Amino acid sequence: MGRSPSINEKTRWLRSALLTSEYAADTKKFVYFSAAPMNNEETEQEENKITSDDLDKMLKVLGREAIREKTPTIRDLERSLQVLLASQGNCEQDLENREEKQQAKYENPLSGAAIIAQLIQRGYLKESDKWLTDKGFINIGARILRDITKALQAGELGMHETKSLGRGGVLLDSTKRFERGDDTRSINVPKSLLNTVHRLKSNASLQIPLRIEEFDLEEYETLDDVRAAVVYCIDLSSTMRYSSMFGDMSRIETAKRALWGLYLVNQKYFPLDSVFIVGFGALAFKVLPRDIPYLKTFEPGSDFLHYTNYQSALRLASKILQRDGAENKRVVLITDGHPSACFIDDSIEKDKILAQRPYSHFYLPDQDVLNSGFDYAAGKIVYLCYRYRQVDQYIGEKTILEAKKCHRKNIQIDTVMISEEDSLLGYVNDMERQVKGRSYYINPTTLDKVLLTDYLSNKKLIVNSRY
């Protein structure tokens, strides 16, 4: 018995038969597939494409780099991603299963610039100081949120919606029988007509127009959704750059990570809620959610913005909430210390302070600061006084008065202390007692879990309080 032809021999025979057939002259009747391999450039591009696993790791690196105290440039990212790829390329198990050409690729791994180019092409990055695109912001935020929720026990968190059959603001896919007095806008018309057809068909009396009875009607079940507006005021004073003794991230980095994940929760699950971000030092300013990763603390020495002015943060937060139509309004202060600045309303008040404290400092922002988006309308002169592990009495009283103004406007105020020092917690507790708020003293590394749990739990309590 002769030898069976190989696959290559069959391929050559088939190609020869096609070319010598009577249809060979009419090449439009054939679709030809090139048997020639891709050239070196095409092969290299194919091999250098980022896999989904590599992309996931790279986005994780980008997320970690984005929340650093000093945001790296896009060129700095090239080096970080190059290190990631090189560390993967040195895996001995991968090298054993690759041919020499693939091994050479690992010896000369894809450059960081090429990775950046691919990430830009895929829409995750852009050539800018703020290098995350909207797509990159959302994808990285989703990974941060996934990490946060992994650390929480299953079933510990609940949504802030309460099921209410027949009334509410969020429609479900499920239906129930319509009850007299329910909102007719929730009626499921196709299902109701189908009920009528089944009833009439079973009675052998199906006629057009259909005669719909009340018991044919079905309505969508709904969730009673309570809308809330929350302003998170993040402390950007110079001490927020200190690293936590419990982890490798600084206080400001843990705060940015927490707010990033929290904003994604709000966007995905509670779109009717309003979440605002305010950054503050000696003055406060509104922060766009997309700018959360790029927040950084104020430098001491260059100006006086590195002080901590709760009063400025509360005034701006109150102004934002007064423009929002939500019934439930709340301010959450995220800080590591105590107030060390407040506003002076006029020169008479300034002279009074100087008479008691001759060496007091006052801050009058220049025009460049005023043009940077700070809420300067809240006050003209800032009184500065930092006291080690205690709050200046004048500043303390001014701050509590401002908190009481918010409370009279039905704005709830809570304070989250992210610090290893507990000596200043007494003042925060006193302020919260006077405005019937809550204070949290937490390990900085658990800030993300605390904020997420608190947000969901607080919303759930708001719903329950209505029934």
Dump the DSSP string for 78-98: HHHHHHHHHHHHT-HHHHHTS
Shared domain for 170 and 203, answered yes or no, is yes
For residue 14, tell me if it sits in a domain: no
For residues 249 and 309, state if they share a domain.
Answer: yes
Residue with tokens 């801050």: 363
What is the percentage of the chain residues whose pLDDT exceeds 90? 19
Find which of 99-108, 192-201, 204-213 is predicted with most confidence, using mean pLDDT.
192-201
Lowest-confidence region among 214-228, 324-338, 391-405 = 214-228
pTM confidence score: 0.69
DSSP for residue 423: T
Which residue did the predictor score with more confidence, 18 or 347?
A: 347
For residue 308, how many other CB atoms are within 10 A of its CB?
30
Lowest-pLDDT range, 84-88, 125-129, 285-289? 84-88
Q: Which helix (H) or strand (E) holds 447?
A: helix 447-464
Structural tokens at position 209: 């127009």
DSSP SS3 for 159:
coil
Reply yes or no on whether the pLDDT at 390 is more than 70: yes
Tell me the range of 133-147, 309-323, 347-361, 381-395 where mean pLDDT is highest. Answer: 309-323
- Cβ atoms of 344 and 379 within 8 Å: the answer is yes
Q: Are residues 239 and 367 in the same domain?
A: yes
Structure tokens at 418: 């992210």
Q: Which residues of 142-151 are buried (b: 16+ CB within 10 A; e: fewer)?
A: bbbbeebbee
Compare 467 and 92 and report the one with higher pLDDT.
92
DSSP SS3 for 233 = strand
Distances in Å between the alpha carbon of 368 and those of 87, 135, 288, 364, 378? 45, 32, 20, 12, 17
241, with CB counted inside 10 A (0-12, 13-18, 19+), is buried
For 346-369, how does the pLDDT look when each residue is reduced to its tens digit (9 = 90+)? 888 888 889 888 888 898 887 777
Q: How many domains does the chain have?
A: 3
In angstroms, what is the C-alpha Rg of the chain? 32
SS3 31: coil
Q: In degrees, to the nearest 5, what angle opens at C-alpha 333 toward C-alphas 144 and 307?
A: 110
Same domain? 189 vs 304 = no
| Cα separation, 458 vs 461, whole angstroms | 5
Residue 149 maps to a domain: no
Average pLDDT, stretch 19-42?
A: 47
Percentage of the chain modeled with pLDDT above 70: 70
Together in a domain, 117 and 57: yes
Quick one: three-class SS letters along 240-275? HHCECCCCCCEHHHHHHHHHHHHHHHHHHHCCCCEE
Region of 94 on the Ramachandran plot (φ > 0 left; ψ -120 to 50 alpha; else beta): alpha
| Residue whose entry in the numeric block shows the structure tokens 């809420």 | 375
* More confident position, 106 or 342: 342
Query: Which of the residue ranges 62-71, 104-113, 172-181, 395-404 would you say has the lowest mean pLDDT?
Result: 104-113
Other beta carbons within 10 Å of 24: 12
221 and 176 share one domain:
yes
Residue 438 burial (CB count, 10 A): 16
Task: Place 211 in a pLDDT band, splitting at 50, 70 and 90.
Answer: confident
Q: What is the mean pLDDT of residues 361-382?
A: 79
Q: Which of 225, 251, 280 is the last residue of a domain?
A: 225
Q: For the domain that residue 459 is a member of, what is the CATH number? A: 3.40.50.410
Quick one: 123 and 180 in the same domain? no
Residue 101 reports pLDDT greater than 50: no
Confidence class of residue 313 from pLDDT cuts 50, 70 and 90? very high
pLDDT at 9 over 80: no
**Residue 32 confidence class, pLDDT cut points 50, 70, 90:** very low
**According to the model, what pLDDT value does residue 282 have?**
92
- Residues 375 and 405 placed together within one structural domain of the fold: yes
Please, are residues 37 and 43 in contact by the beta-carbon 8 Å criterion? yes
Token pair of 374 as six digits: 């700070």
Axis-axis angle for helices 447-464, 251-269 (nearest 10) = 40
Q: Is residue 24 pLDDT above 70, yes or no? A: no
145 occurs within a structural domain:
no
Ramachandran assignment for 123, one of left (phi > 0), alpha (psi -120 to 50 degrees), beta (any other): left
Residue-wise pLDDT tens digits, 418-445: 876 666 778 888 899 999 888 887 777 7
200-204, 271-275, 371-375, 461-465: lowest mean pLDDT where?
Answer: 461-465
In a domain, 72, yes or no: yes
Domain span including residue 442: 228-464
Same domain for 109 and 205?
no
How much is the pLDDT for 161?
A: 34
Residues 6+ apart with CB under 8 A from 162: 223, 224, 460, 463, 464, 467
Task: Give 119-164 pLDDT, tens digit per residue.
Answer: 888 899 988 888 999 999 999 888 888 877 766 644 343 333 333 3
pLDDT for 146: 80
Distance CA 166, CA 187 (A): 10
In this structure, the answer to whether residues 120 and 202 fall within a common structural domain is no
The tally of CA atoms less than 13 A away on the side-chain side of residue 238 is: 11
Alpha-carbon span 80 to 83, nearest angstrom: 5
Q: Helices 52-66 and 74-89 sit at what angle, rounded to 10 degrees?
A: 140
The chain-wide mean pLDDT, for the chain, equals 75
Q: Is the pLDDT of residue 467 over 60?
A: no
Extended beta strands in 300-410, E state:
328-335, 341-344, 361-363, 381-384
Residue 312 and residue 176 share a domain: no
In-domain check, residue 74: yes
Examine the pLDDT at 189 and tell me if it is beyond 90.
Answer: no
Higher pLDDT, 411 or 337: 411
CA 321 to chain centre: 20
Q: Would you state the pLDDT for residue 316?
A: 95
Q: Which two tokens stand for residue 338?
A: 């105590």
391 vs 107: which has the higher pLDDT: 391
